[in-house]
Amino acid sequence: MSGKTHRTPLLKVENLSAGYGGMHVLHDITLEVYPAEMVALVGSNGAGKTTLLRALSRILPCTGSIVMNGHELSGMTPDQAFGLGLVQVPEGRQLFDRMTVQDNLLMGSYRRQDKAAVARDLDKIYSMFPRLTERRRQLAGSMSGGEQQMCAMARALMAAPVLMMVDEMSLGLAPVVVEQLMEMLAAIQRDGVTVLLVEQDVQLALSGADRAYVMETGRIVHQGLAKVLIDDPAVQQAYWGL
Amino acid sequence: MKMWKIGLVLAALAVLAGVPWYGSDVLIQFGINALLLAVLAQGWNIIGGYTGYASFGNSVFYGLGGYGVAIAMVQWQLPFAVGMGFGVVLAVVFAVLLGIPVLRLKGHYFAIATLALSQVMTAIVSNVGIAGQNIGLVLPPLNNDPLFYELSLGLLTIATLTIWGMTRSRFGFGLIAIRENEEGAAVMGVNTTLYKVMAFALSGIFSALAGGIHAYWVTFLDPASAFDISLNVKMIIMAVFGGPGTVLGPIVGALTLSTISEFLSSEVTSIAGLFFGLVIVVAVVLMPRGLADMLRRMRKMGWGYFIENIRAHRL
């Protein structure tokens, strides 16, 4: 963490609180994400990870401040935040099942006007995900879970994201598939996209990310370099029962 | 679209436009009814077929369009065209004011809420003085069926061209994305609330115009007939029969079902409803996704298409 403090964060969240109705779920969340890094947000079921993502992407109202690239997001609507490059790969993928893979990817570029750049990105993304090239004319809903997750990530990439938030990528997928997806995520990060990875699988997230925040009952309880946290006895005890 | 398809559509349009010159009075009157129903089915197609929100409130737009014309012509002595405009304004205001809360509901809940709206409208309008309360309004008669026929055909053409243009636009793709996966659409930056309200309003505009033409044609309007829920059921059946979410499906559905219904009521009179119900049941069993889907997939699968659908129903 030290050594990065002199850089300006891409995303700076301060004292964020949010909830559903009268129930508070998130309490005073403060975190920073720097350009081109991969940050993991880990924690067990019900820790508030997805709620935090929903607040960041403006689907859920919140108090506190969210600043991305110098813009204050807290008063924005979801599509305005999306316009700044805050793109989500939602939990459960949320693909357009009865549309083809190609149409799903094109829906990713829905808000972009520059057709030439969109066509270039489409080619690039197909070369990144050869599996999707084979299946470009197939209905998205008819693919396997791993392929659907790839498709969801590719669709998010088509939106030309600045910050890509990936929610529960590993959910319900075989370990070997998850491994492939992590490699792809690393490639996306090398390409200059900042990644915020939200995961229940603590070991997976910590092995791939640069830094991590650990959440518990709506608060951030640990933070630091992922390779340090992975050996932290407190984290190990809390999540792996060691 | 291929050239022969455009030619076919234009030829069909020419045949329809010529009806007042070669058709009987009965045929023209049947045509006005069928064309207005086709407009309603197309209107429903925008919100129900493309956006995936099965609205039972579209008959409200139809009623508001009728009252727009009736109030403007009877109470304010304004011309018909102004009345049509007034009806459209009423429909858009209604779509925006009620669409914003009601379009938050999904599936059955949306259907029930819109159904309730259309029931409440009868009660509300029965108590509005300017709308003639529950006695209704009598419009100045205009005995010119060919004119009403061509007006209805023109409206149907405009509605269809609008939908055709919509399916090729960013707006149309946004609506289809909402139908396929609303959360996915929101995540991809589609302003879902705005789009749904716009689709509801657009659907309302065409329904209101159809209501306005109908009110002037029959020269009488009362709350029970203006906000008739069975009309809403009819437009849904017609759109679904033809193929919801397609450009021409609802027209084919409306014209086919109107013809079958007319034929039955003249041939078997009192038990026509029974046979009509049978037609609908058979259609639902054999082609649950409409005529358009049947025509597309019959080419590939042949008669196996029907067998597959029957199996899907576990009959």
This model of the complex carries an ipTM of 0.80
- Per CB-CB distance under 8 Å, the chain A contacts of B174 are 110
Chain B contact for A78, CB < 8 A? yes
Q: Would you say A199 and A205 are in contact if contact means Cβ atoms under 8 Å apart?
A: yes
Mutate to test the interface with A, among B187, B192, B195 (most CBs of A within 10 A): B187
Residue B221 and residue B71: Cα distance in Å, rounded? 10
Q: Indicate the residue of B174, B176, B184 with minimum beta-carbon distance to A94.
A: B184
Those residues of chain B whose CB sits closer than 8 Å to some CB in chain A are: 170, 173-174, 176-177, 180-181, 183-191
In sequence order, the 6+-apart residues with CB closer than 8 A to the CB of A192 are A36
- At B16-71, the pLDDT tens digits run 999 999 989 999 999 999 999 999 999 999 999 999 999 999 999 999 999 999 99
A20 in contact with chain B, both atoms CB, cutoff 8 A: no
Is the pTM for the entire model greater than 0.80?
A: yes
Judged against a pLDDT cut of 60, whether residue A5 lies above it is answered with no
What dotted CATH number matches B3-313? 1.10.3470
* A chain contacts of residue B187, beta-carbon cutoff 8 Å: 57, 82, 87-88, 90, 94
pLDDT band with cut points at 50, 70 and 90 for residue B280: confident
Picking from A74, A71, A59, A70, the residue whose alpha carbon sits closest to that of residue A29 is: A74
pLDDT digits (tens, 9 = 90+) for A19-54: 988 888 999 999 999 999 999 999 888 889 989 998
Q: What percent of chain B has pLDDT over 70?
A: 99
CA B156 to chain centre: 10
A240 band by pLDDT with thresholds 50, 70 and 90: low
B133 DSSP assignment = T
Q: What are the distances in angstroms from CA A184 to CA A154, A196, B66?
A: 10, 14, 59
User: For the segment A159-198, what is each residue's pLDDT rounded down to a tens digit?
Assistant: 999 999 999 999 889 999 999 999 999 999 999 999 999 9
Q: A90 and B187 in contact by Cβ < 8 A?
A: yes
Q: How many CA within 13 A on the CB side of residue A203? A: 9
DSSP 8-state secondary structure symbol assigned to residue A94: -
Give the strand pairing for A38-42 and A194-199. Answer: parallel
Tell me the three state secondary structure of residue A163.
strand
**Rounded distance, CA B43 to CA B206, Å?**
6
Q: Which range among B6-10, B37-41, B264-268 has the greatest average pLDDT?
A: B37-41
CA distances from B262 to B117, B225, B233, B237 (A): 30, 20, 17, 16
Q: Which residue among B181, B183, B190 places its CB closest to the CB of A110? A: B190
pLDDT tens per residue across span A54-108: 899 888 889 999 999 999 998 898 888 999 999 999 988 999 999 999 999 999 9
Per-domain boundaries in chain B: 3-313
CB-based contact A82 B184, cutoff 8 Å: no
CA distance A55 to chain B (A): 13
